Structure 1
Amino acid sequence: MTKFNERTLTEVKVPAPAPQAASRPGATLALTSAATAVALMTYTAPMVTLPEVAADLHTPLSAQAWLLNGTPLGVAALLLVAGSLADDYGRRRIFVAGTLALGLTTALGALTSSTWLFTLARIAQGAASAALLASSLGLLVHAFPTPRGRLHATGVWGAFVSGGIAVGPLLSGALPSWRVSYGVLGAAAVLVAALSARLLSESRAPRGGRPDLAGAVTFGLALVALVAALTLGRDGWLRAPVGLLSLAFAVLLALFAVVERRSATPMIDLGLLRHRRFLASSVSGLFTGLAVIGLFSFLPALLQQTVGLSAMDTAWLFLLWSGLSFAVALQVRRLAGRVSPRWQLATGFLLHAAGVLTMLGSLDAGSWTRLLPGLVTAGIGSGLLNAALPLAAVESVPATRAAMGSGAQQTFRYIGSCAGVALTIAIATSTGGGLAHGADIAMVVSAVLALVAAGGVVGLRERA
């Protein structure tokens, strides 16, 4: 087996691959982008309908984090395994299976009648999303072998990440109920899966061995313990259950590291974390989830409960943020050769921090118009992040492990998302000054985390 180390990041010796079918760049880019957009729409749809879903499923405030966190939990737990499976057994095969499973599990989510059934359906959606997200960048790397083509493709793909985030809340708010929106998204995913089965070409970079299921189980359980600890923290951070769950997270994380070191085909070679480019990519993904996604996942619900906006009004307001993110991500490819992904990431984090800080006091004043400058600034920052992240991911590992590289970065992004959502809800709902005051504290925490990320990305430059 080929191990990742100092040498393999620059020179990879692998057996000559078997002849593979000619790729269709246009179809590959269109279908992977469409599936990614549907996956992100499924993820963001509950953001503006959270109050409605919680009321329909009789979900208490203390458990609402699970309604949002089901999908990122499933993604984070299985993304690395999905990346390895895509490289080993066929990226097209895993992509089609994941997209089809996303359609079916999303449709099933519309039929659930309790908090825990809905959460389980969301976790299943996350697992399906993991398969299509991890394999999509691998398919793009195969279809666009030149640096210029790859830059264009990852830029468009990153823009559709922002596009999915933008359209999901609008679709959910415009349709008669959240159940109908889930049915529509499920049908869209099934359609993309059918087209992908006919039009995509297969590619793989097999390494042999079995999937690292033991690593996936220990990692998934560690993540559940972390989210549970943060969720229960709103009732007191020093309580025994929070401490025990935090200890369980640490123990399971250590066990995961042991499993990975002993596995013949690990989910991730932990030695990669010694390389600054890979570490910078991972840190960027983690803090994008923790600072950006964590705050903006719960902010729409806070607006509805403090300012009194409807679900549709909230969706239109947040289109300013997500729409700008989409437009900026689509245009960032023009910076190729002039601004490195590292500096794009740092600038994105700084703009997010600046935008969030300008929104302080808006909810307490009951004024949605005071949010506008911050949403514009943070939206531009988010677009820079979404455009630079996929390129940083594929550049941080050898081309033959592109799916694993993208899976690793996105895993860290969704780990951050799970932790960020739970932390934001815990902070916003546990302060004595009300939801508006709690929202201000959550915004300050998000801005500080973004500043830390910007400093970390700049500091983790490659040694000469």
Structure 2
Amino acid sequence: MRCDSARADEQRDGPSSGPDASGSNPPRSNRPRGGPAATLAVASIATALVLVVFTVPLTTLTSASEALGAGPGEQAWILSAMSVGAASALLGSGAIGDDYGRRRTFVAGTVVLAMASVLGALAPSALVLIVARIVQGLGGGVILACGLGLIGQAYPGPALGHAAGVWAAALGAGVAVGPILSAGLDRLGGWSLPYWLSALAAAGLAAAAQAFLTESQAADRRCVDVAGTLLLGFGMAAFLAGLTESRTGWDQPSVYVLLIGAVLLLAGFVVVERRVAGPMLDLSLFGRPDFVGATLAALASGAGVLSIMSLIPMILQRAMGVGAMTGAIVLLAWSATSAVTAFAARWIRASPTALMIGGLVACAAGQLAVYGLSADSSVLRVVPGMLLAGAANGVLNAALGWQAVASVPADRSAMGSGANNTARYLGSATGLTICAVLVTHGGAASGIAGLLSGWNMAVLVSASFSLLGALGVYLATAREQFREHRGPGDRAS
């Protein structure tokens, strides 16, 4: 059932084109502006900016904490707050973008990111900075969901694979540039300077998006699923908040209250989505092997390689006495390599499913290569494993960007992007929590020996996540591939 506002918009903009030859309603696009190349450029640059903003605390946490008097619990929240906001917004903003305009929603996300960055720069206390980081995550989630959705509309068919590689390269570029840029700006003008630069960049992207992006939306617009949006948003926020609180100890009542509340909210979300006429997430998609495979791969990517590689600068600093800038530079072995191979993945002649399985297995091999660190290990000891994991992660990101859009109906590209990125953020938050707890509480030994013992356990756990993800993708898609390869006579029998 369509909303009254949807019918009013159709009277103003003209009727939709109706069902295509396949019987489905094609997405509606209007107001041609900069063309596909402009869409790819703006969406990719914005994606890189979101990742730059995400990594700001990795190298500015110490100076920000000293300036704002943040304790261990507040520091954990500063690191994780943007994930809470992003995971809460991704799926809902993708559905809203599909129904009410991906460009319009994308622009709103850049404005929110700019305003939140200003709030972060002016933050007088750790609490205000945490709130600003959560709102930055809300804006960033909108950008990620609708940016890839816009790319999916601009590059239909086989061209999507190439465009998804560029988008995935932007992910790696943001992670590569962010920590080094933030560390340099911190030294130049203090911890708040990266937030001011983020605000200016986001404002510029809002203007560029308004000028160059072509509006697109689903031909069959639905009412906003208010109940589903709120239940999922608060459920994800409660779950990630519970994980963040657990990093300072599982014996806190707040941890259990948040996690139990998250289970109840997410269960309510499933109930609502089964009953509402226009769900924000069509649960029937979980009957599609390609959608399930892409979701499992994104979840495993976050819980596996993203989690353990994000902790390498920390282990280098605490166990080997490496400085923050050096740690950020070493991280380039993973993040920069990921950007390069994501862009080059367009020349690999393989299906997205094969790329996801191969990428996860190779990521696991790279993760295992950083096992066995000691206090006497050279910084170069971690580089080969990071290079392998980075190369595999770039290919994996390109396949995920491709399959996230290709595994949903054509007019639901932003919803597909939101669902896939939600799985990635959920996996990352879960994996980071588990690995951080293992590192800080690993083994019976104390000091550096205990830290490294915990690190080795975290490496094994993260590699297990990657391998289980590869197995899950294979099992989810094997039956469908078997059906496709059976002959007509076999299918008839």
The Cα of 1:160 is off from its aligned counterpart by 0.7
Could you say what the CA RMSD is over the residues aligned between the two structures, in angstroms?
2.3
- Counterpart AA for 2:398: A
Instruction: Tell me the distance in 2 between the aligned counterparts of 1:366 and 1:140.
Output: 44
Structure 2 residue runs of 5 or longer lacking an equivalent are 3-18, 484-493
Distance in 2 of aligned mates of 1:30 and 1:232:
38
* Residue equivalent to 2:471: 455
User: How far did residue 217 of structure 1 move?
Assistant: 2.4
What is the aligned counterpart of 2:399 among 360, 383, 388? Answer: 388
Residues 102 and 186, structure 1, Cα contact 8 Å, conserved in 2 = yes
> Could you list the runs of 5+ residues in structure 1 that have no partner in the other structure?
3-7
Mapped to 2, the partners of 1:427 and 1:62 lie a distance apart of 17
Q: Tell me if 1:313 matches 2:326.
A: yes
Q: Which stretch has the larger CA shift, 300-309 or 252-261?
A: 300-309
**CA displacement at 1:101 relative to structure 2:** 1.8
Residue of 213, 223, 238 corresponding to 1:200: 213
C-alpha change, 1:328 and 1:17, in structure 2 (3 Å) is closer
Q: 2: CA distance between counterparts of 1:217 and 1:98?
A: 18
SS in 1 for 2:233: helix
Offset of residue 322 of structure 1: 0.5
- Shift of the alpha carbon at 1:22? 6.0
Contact 2:26/2:218 (<8 A) preserved: no
1:245-269 deviation digits (Å, cap 9, x = unpaired): 4332222221111122232322201
- Pairing 1:443–2:472 present: no
- Report percent identity of matched pairs: 39
The separation in 2 between residues aligned to 1:363 and 1:232, in whole angstroms, is 29
TM-score, length of structure 1 as denominator length: 0.91
Equivalent AA in structure 2 for residue 41 of structure 1? V
One of 106, 116, 123 as aligned partner of 1:95: 106
For residue 370 of structure 1, what is the aligned residue in structure 2?
A: 381
Structure-1 separation of matches of 2:198 and 2:248: 35
Instruction: For residue 357 of structure 1, report the CA deviation from its aligned partner.
Output: 1.4
- Counterpart of 1:279? 292
- The one-letter code matched in structure 2 to 1:265 is G
Indicate the SS of the match to 2:192.
helix
Structure 2 CA distance, aligned partners of 1:312 and 1:271?
Answer: 47
Q: Name the residue aligned to 2:159.
A: 149
1:127-173 Cα offsets, whole Å, 9 max, x none, are 1112211111222122223x232222111111111111111111012
Change beyond 3 A, Cα 1:59–1:320:
same
Q: Which of residues 75, 78, 83 is equivalent to 1:67?
A: 78
The match for 2:486 is none
| Structure number with larger C-alpha Rg | 2
Is the 2:26–2:411 Cα contact (8 Å) retained in structure 1?
Answer: no
Sort the Cα spacing of 1:231 and 1:199 in 2 relative to 1 into closer, same or farther, 3 A. closer
> Does residue 52 of the first structure (1) align with residue 68 of the second (2)?
no
Of 320-329 and 294-303, the range deviating more from structure 2: 294-303
Q: 1:12 Cα shift?
A: 4.8
Deviation of the 1:415 alpha carbon: 1.3
DSSP-derived class of the 1:203 partner = strand
Partners of 1:20 and 1:228 lie apart in 2 by 41
Q: Is the 8 A contact 1:359 1:371 kept in 2?
A: yes
Aligned pairs for 1:275-424 within 5 A: 275-335=288-348, 338-362=349-373, 364-424=375-435
Cα contact 2:110–2:140 (8 A) shared by 1: yes
Alignment partner, residue 114 of structure 1: 125
Counterpart of 2:192 (choices 155, 170, 179) is 179
CA distance in 2, matches of 1:66, 1:419: 14
Aligned positions, number:
455
* CA contact 2:360–2:470 (8 Å) conserved in 1: yes
- Give 1:49 deviation, angstroms: 2.9
For residues 98-152 of structure 1, the C-alpha deviation after alignment (integer angstroms, 9 at most, x for no partner) is 112212212221222333222211111111112211111222122223x232222
1:172-209 deviation digits (Å, cap 9, x = unpaired)? 12222331112112211111211221122211114334
Q: CA deviation at 1:423?
A: 2.3
TM-score (norm 2): 0.86
